[in-house]
Amino acid sequence: MALIVQKYGGSSVADAESIKRVAKRIVDTRRAGHDVVVAVSAMGDTTDELLDLASQVAPIPAPRELDMLLSSGERISMALLAMSIHSMGFEARSFTGSQAGMITDATHGAARIVDVTPVRLREALDDGAIVIVAGFQGFNRDTRDITTLGRGGSDTTAVALAAALNADVCEIYSDVDGIYTADPRVVPKARKLEVVDAEEMLELAANGAKVLYIRAVEYARRHGVLIHARSTFSSGEGTWVLGPGQTRPSGAGEEMEEPIVAGVATDLSQAKITIIGVPDVPGKAAEIFKIVAKSGANVDMIVQNVSAASTGRTDISFTLPKTDATMALKALAGDQAEIGFENLVHDDQIGKLSVVGAGMRTHSGVSATLFEALSVSGINIEMISTSEIRISVVVRGDDLAEAARVVHTAYGLDGDVDAVVHAGTGR
């Protein structure tokens, strides 16, 4: 008998039929003899609808009240899920974030978990009940107010519960059946990974892979939680995300050397800003990126051209989320005289391709394969950045899908058959 934490996202509980299907799945796990704790998101588009209502009554909703509002979404889904399980003859109890002991700081809308005290959950498990917990929400002890965890909050709830309850596994359910070597909608020959290294998963998630939220993977790695990413719509195994020293329960095949490249991530959500004619003097880059940071923009890649000796000036390009571009441009334009640059160019037609693999640490020539594959296909590389286990390049957005396919093939990642692309709304 194991203790299993399961997380179901909004699309898995979008309507009454979906809720009953999820309830059946939970009951099956209980029938197999396991203790089950479930973290659940709000139904389908509930959160967006509530946000829309909020914007109708208040241009800038008060953060405390917005959290109170949004946290009602999970109360609805968790109560419905608990009563559905109940009607199948199993004891189920739902708990809000505060009832579940999900203690956070007081940052409304993006609260950090500071402690998990699942006293009531343990009592319910001891009583033989299935436990349903509202994802995405917590409670601050000082203000006694309800908080929400922000994007990917329900994944984080599930992992935090798994850590606090010392669960055997944290199953993250969605409408895809695991982690793929690439997005199957972009690369039809993408293969599902049986296992992926937690560090690789972090790089993939940070660079465009959408199945797991980086914050949850990070929390899992830090607390030694074993994640199993699975599909709500099938009973097959998904992908195990393995931290240091972890193996998947079946254990098969774990002795093999890991592949050099785990997967290829694509990201169309970034824009590029180029600052032209920056005086090539020490401290200029620091000055520029302090201004950008102060504007609230999140810079990703940075490239500085070789300075033209004749002018003493250089160009600096950086990428950032498209949604952050306006504020960064405003901040830079406002300080043009002080920085002394000549011009600003904004480009939101870029695509970012990342190749991730822990094997890069010990294998050379990995980047050469990437550059060669793109070159043969006539795809121009505009920027390059690397980490210990990742190489990213910026190409034209229109070229991104083609780039992903040729690179996927070049690293020998292609499967024998095309991947099935699942219907659904993503997460």
| Site of interaction with a second copy (CB under 8 A) | 16, 19-20, 23, 50, 53-54, 56-62, 64-66, 68-69, 71-73, 75-76, 78-84, 86-87, 92-94, 99, 120, 144
Q: Select 79 or 291, whichever has its Cβ closest to a second copy.
A: 79
Handedness of CA 126, 130, 134, 136 (dihedral sign): positive
- The minimum distance between CB 173 and a second copy, in angstroms, equals 18
CB of 73 to a second copy, least distance (A): 8
Q: Whose Cβ is closer to a second copy: residue 120's or residue 189's?
A: 120
Q: How far apart are CA 203 and CA 196, in angstroms?
A: 11
The distance between the two most distant Cα atoms of the chain, rounded to a whole number of Å, is: 81
Q: Is 31 annotated as a binding residue?
A: no
Q: Is 402 annotated as a binding residue?
A: no
Q: Provide the minimum distance between the beta carbon of 93 and a second copy in the complex, in angstroms, as a whole number.
A: 7
- At residue 310, what is the residue type? S
Residue 160: partners with Cβ closer than 8 Å, 6 or more residues away: 102, 113, 116, 219, 223
* CA dihedral of residues 396, 402, 405, 411 (deg, nearest 10): -50
Residue with smaller CB distance to a second copy, 37 or 190: 37
Alpha carbons 239 and 131: distance in angstroms, whole number: 24
Strand-strand pairing, 227-231 and 169-174: parallel
Smallest distance from a second copy to CB 115, Å? 19
Decide whether 47 or 317 has the Cβ nearer to a second copy.
Answer: 47
Q: 97: number of CA atoms within 13 Å, CB side?
A: 34
Containing 220, the helix (H) or strand (E) segment is: helix 214-223
Closer residue to a second copy in complex, CB, 73/243: 73
In angstroms, what is the minimal distance from the CB of 1 to a second copy? Answer: 25
Residue 17 assigned as binding residue:
no
Q: Is 210 annotated as a binding residue?
A: yes
Query: Taking phi first (over 0 means left), then psi (-120 to 50 degrees means alpha), and beta for anything else, what does residue 224 get?
Result: left
Q: Is 8 annotated as a binding residue?
A: yes
Binding-site positions = 7-10, 47, 74, 180, 185, 210-211
Binding-site positions for ATP = 7-10, 180, 185, 210-211
Binding-site positions for substrate = 47, 74
